């Protein structure tokens, strides 16, 4: 027990010291190493906890916890990009738009699988790229490590997971690490899949069933929002869904009006006064996304109304498009209980953002300040035009697998994203160029989807800023 206390205290001091270090004036290479040390230190802390449980016979089986998947991937990137650079390798990460941002699983088991897979990939790759890719395939979360190494000999790949196999090492294959990974995959209710890539190198993937990974949207027993004296518009073309949502809202104290399509909802919003809108994304005449976008760009009384979007489509790409249009929260249909709707309404009323950071607002604002009030409008229009042109080019290039077009439009996107402070999008565009240069179809597919989703969000953001700029000029006139 004393040893466990001392180990925990020592690791806590190390991590605390790293967090207190200011990296504001450090060169990028030094900042990268600090992040690498911090990520490795946190992994070590979790492994110490697991080891102490085993030693003291306090294990309770796999621990399922809520994990921010994007944060976990970031930590992995910080650890392994430095290791790859030391060997002269490139290290890239790609997350498909439909991958859930938050999951419930055994984080220690997942990190042990990925550490073994990445260690093998870096160890046996002498030049080229190691990639970590996450996507959804046939209702399974697939986390794949791809490398440009020698691949697996056919004889060895057939015996890797055979009963009684305990690991054999060779220059072209991986040994005990894959055996450990298999056990950890079983602990996660998943499986390991091994293939040799047609273009050279190996692909080792952890495949997990999506069902059971998604956490509950709201904790049981959470207090419901008080919507007393609030007037809520429910735009929903299904009479049954209208009745269910209206009943739930009424139980929270709200007075509800209903509309059966987007045009009718827009007319009610133009002629009435509402405090909240619950809008179905899939409606006739005017879709929910078109309705929200119209509200946000109208400059009218409901331009800033809190909006909860209802949708049966929960893929990440759909969520990004809905948020890009201006929704404040999303709730998935069908609504079996009141809690998910209550949570979404609370998020909308608090203006809580559920998307990843898009850009550095200070950089964007500094760019706009240079041009002055009149030039701001022209600059925003040019940014929007450039983004639309790039988006159209990328859509065509990705659908036709025209590598020249993809590289050309991604180069333009790097320039535009860099100018407005959209560093995440710029980095994605750089990764897309690398993938196109390598003619890596898997990377092009995943990175391309993410680039398009982020570009759509940036267009929506710039359009909203343009509308505000126009309003400011009208007020000054």
224-271 tens-digit pLDDT: 788 877 889 999 988 777 888 888 888 888 889 999 999 999 999 888
The residue-averaged pLDDT of 23-27 equals 59
> Can you give the pLDDT at residue 89?
92
> Can you give the pLDDT at residue 279?
95
Is it the case that residue 315 has pLDDT exceeding 60? Answer: no
φ/ψ of 273, rounded to 5, equals -130, 120
**Cβ-Cβ contacts under 8 Å for 328 (sequence gap 6 or more):** 306, 307, 308, 347, 348, 351, 352
In a 10 Å sphere around its CB, with 0-12 CB exposed, 13-18 middle and 19+ buried, how is residue 378 labelled?
exposed
> Can you give the pLDDT at residue 324?
81
Is it the case that residue 110 has pLDDT exceeding 70? Answer: yes
Q: E strands of 319-431, at which residues?
A: 329-332
The residue-averaged pLDDT of 340-354 equals 72
Pairing between strand 202-209 and 140-146? antiparallel
Q: What share of the chain is helix, strand, coil (3-state, %, to 5)?
A: 55, 15, 30
The residue-averaged pLDDT of 101-110 equals 80
Looking at the 3D structure of the chain, how many domains does it have?
4
Is it the case that residue 9 has pLDDT exceeding 50? Answer: no
> Can you give the pLDDT at residue 230?
83
The residue-averaged pLDDT of 319-323 equals 79
How far apart CA 215 and CA 208 sit, in angstroms, is 15
The residue-averaged pLDDT of 377-402 equals 89
Distances (CA, A) of 132 to 54, 379, 440: 30, 37, 13
Confidence of residue 354 (pLDDT cuts 50, 70, 90): very low
Residues 139, 173: one domain?
yes
Confidence of residue 53 (pLDDT cuts 50, 70, 90): very low
Residues 16, 114: one domain?
no
Confidence of residue 46 (pLDDT cuts 50, 70, 90): low
How far apart CA 47 and CA 355 sit, in angstroms, is 30
Q: Give the 3-state secondary structure of residue 307.
A: strand
Which of 190, 216, 242 terminates a domain? The answer is 216
Residues 201, 87: one domain?
yes
Residues 180, 207: one domain?
yes
When comparing pLDDT for 348 and 461, which is higher? 348
Residues 472, 402: one domain?
yes
Confidence of residue 58 (pLDDT cuts 50, 70, 90): very low
DSSP 467: H
> Can you give the pLDDT at residue 412?
93
pLDDT tens for 447-457 read: 888 788 788 77
> Can you give the pLDDT at residue 336?
62
Residues 137, 160: one domain?
yes
When comparing pLDDT for 181 and 126, which is higher? 126
pLDDT tens for 178-236 read: 777 887 888 888 999 888 988 888 999 999 988 777 655 433 445 678 887 788 999 99
Number of Cβ atoms within 10 Å of the Cβ of 44: 14
Determine the structural domain holding residue 47 and report its residue range: 1-60
How far apart CA 98 and CA 315 sit, in angstroms, is 5
pLDDT tens for 392-448 read: 999 999 988 899 999 999 999 999 888 888 888 888 888 899 889 888 887 788 788
Which of 14, 45, 60 terminates a domain? The answer is 60
Percent over 70 (pLDDT), the chain:
72
Which CATH number is 321's domain given? 3.40.50.2300
Residue with tokens 């004296």: 229
When comparing pLDDT for 359 and 22, which is higher? 359
- The answer to the question of residue 4 being in a domain is yes
- The answer to the question of residue 221 being in a domain is no
Residues 78, 199: one domain?
yes
> Can you give the pLDDT at residue 406?
94
Is it the case that residue 307 has pLDDT exceeding 90? Answer: yes
Mean pLDDT of all residues in the chain? 77
Pairing between strand 329-332 and 307-311? parallel
Pairing between strand 140-146 and 129-137? antiparallel
Which CATH number is 424's domain given? 1.20.120.160
Residues 174, 123: one domain?
yes
Is it the case that residue 308 has pLDDT exceeding 90? Answer: yes
Lowest mean pLDDT among 11-20, 78-87, 220-229, 336-345: 11-20
Residues 340, 385: one domain?
no
Contact 261, 237 (CB under 8 A): yes
- The answer to the question of residue 402 being in a domain is yes
Confidence of residue 309 (pLDDT cuts 50, 70, 90): very high
> Can you give the pLDDT at residue 56?
43
- The answer to the question of residue 195 being in a domain is yes
DSSP secondary structure letters along 85-129: HHTT-EEEEEE-TTS-SEEEE-HHHHHHHHHHHHHHHHHH--SSE
Q: What is the dihedral of CA 71, 74, 78, 79, to 10 degrees?
A: 70
pLDDT tens for 130-173 read: 999 998 888 889 999 999 988 887 766 566 655 444 444 333 34
- The answer to the question of residue 355 being in a domain is no
> Can you give the pLDDT at residue 411?
93
- The answer to the question of residue 223 being in a domain is no
Residues 343, 375: one domain?
no
How far apart CA 464 and CA 477 sit, in angstroms, is 20
CA angle (12 as vertex; 6, 16 as ends), nearest 5:
150
- The answer to the question of residue 315 being in a domain is yes
> Can you give the pLDDT at residue 206?
93
Residues 119, 198: one domain?
yes
Confidence of residue 77 (pLDDT cuts 50, 70, 90): confident
- The answer to the question of residue 222 being in a domain is no
Which of 14, 34, 60 terminates a domain? The answer is 60
Residues 117, 199: one domain?
yes
The residue-averaged pLDDT of 319-330 equals 83
**Cβ-Cβ contacts under 8 Å for 242 (sequence gap 6 or more):** 234, 236, 258, 260
């Amino acid at each position: 027990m004393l040893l466990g206390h001392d180990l925990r205290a020592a690791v806590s001091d190390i991590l605390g010291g790293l967090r207190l270090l200011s990296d504001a004036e450090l060169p990028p290479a030094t900042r990268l190493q600090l992040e690498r040390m911090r990520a490795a230190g946190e992994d070590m802390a979790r492994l110490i906890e697991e080891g102490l449980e085993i030693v003291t016979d306090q294990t309770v089986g796999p621990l399922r916890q809520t994990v921010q998947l994007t944060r976990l991937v970031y930590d992995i990137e910080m650890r392994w990009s430095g290791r790859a650079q030391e060997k002269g390798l490139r290290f890239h990460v790609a997350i498909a738009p439909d991958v859930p941002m938050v999951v419930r699983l055994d984080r220690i088991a997942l990190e042990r699988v990925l550490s073994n897979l990445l260690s093998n990939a870096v160890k046996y790759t002498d030049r080229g790229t190691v990639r970590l890719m996450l996507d959804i395939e046939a209702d399974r979360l697939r986390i794949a490590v791809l490398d440009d190494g020698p691949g697996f000999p056919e004889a060895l790949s057939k015996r890797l997971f055979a009963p009684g196999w305990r690991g054999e090492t060779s220059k072209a294959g991986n040994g005990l690490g894959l055996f450990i990974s298999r056990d950890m995959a079983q602990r996660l209710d998943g499986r390991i899949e091994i293939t040799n890539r047609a273009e050279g190198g190996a692909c080792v993937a952890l495949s997990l069933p999506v069902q059971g990974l998604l956490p509950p949207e709201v904790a049981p027993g959470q207090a419901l929002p008080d919507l007393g004296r609030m007037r809520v518009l429910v735009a929903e073309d299904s009479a049954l869904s209208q009745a269910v949502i209206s009943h739930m809202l009424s139980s929270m104290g709200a007075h509800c009006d209903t509309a059966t399509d987007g045009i009718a909802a827009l007319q009610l919003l133009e002629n009435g006064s509402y405090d909240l809108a619950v809008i179905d994304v899939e409606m006739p005449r005017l879709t929910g996304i078109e309705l929200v976008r119209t509200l946000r760009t109208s400059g009218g009384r409901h331009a800033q109304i809190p909006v909860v979007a209802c949708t049966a489509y929960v893929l990440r790409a759909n969520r990004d498009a809905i948020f890009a249009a201006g929704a404040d929260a999303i709730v998935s249909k069908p609504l079996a209980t009141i809690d998910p709707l209550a949570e979404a309404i609370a998020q909308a009323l608090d203006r809580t953002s559920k998307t990843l950071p898009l850009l550095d607002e200070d950089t964007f604002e500094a760019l706009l300040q240079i041009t002055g009030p009149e030039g701001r409008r022209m600059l925003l229009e040019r940014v929007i035009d450039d983004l639309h042109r790039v988006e159209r080019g990328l859509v065509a290039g990705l659908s036709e697998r025209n590598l020249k077009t993809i590289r050309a439009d991604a180069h333009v996107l790097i320039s535009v994203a860099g100018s407005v402070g959209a560093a995440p999008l710029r980095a994605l565009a750089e990764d897309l160029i690398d993938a196109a240069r390598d003619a890596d179809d898997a990377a092009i597919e995943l990175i391309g989807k993410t680039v398009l989703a982020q570009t759509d969000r940036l267009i929506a953001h710039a359009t909203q800023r343009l509308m505000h700029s126009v309003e400011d000029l009208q007020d000054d006139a």
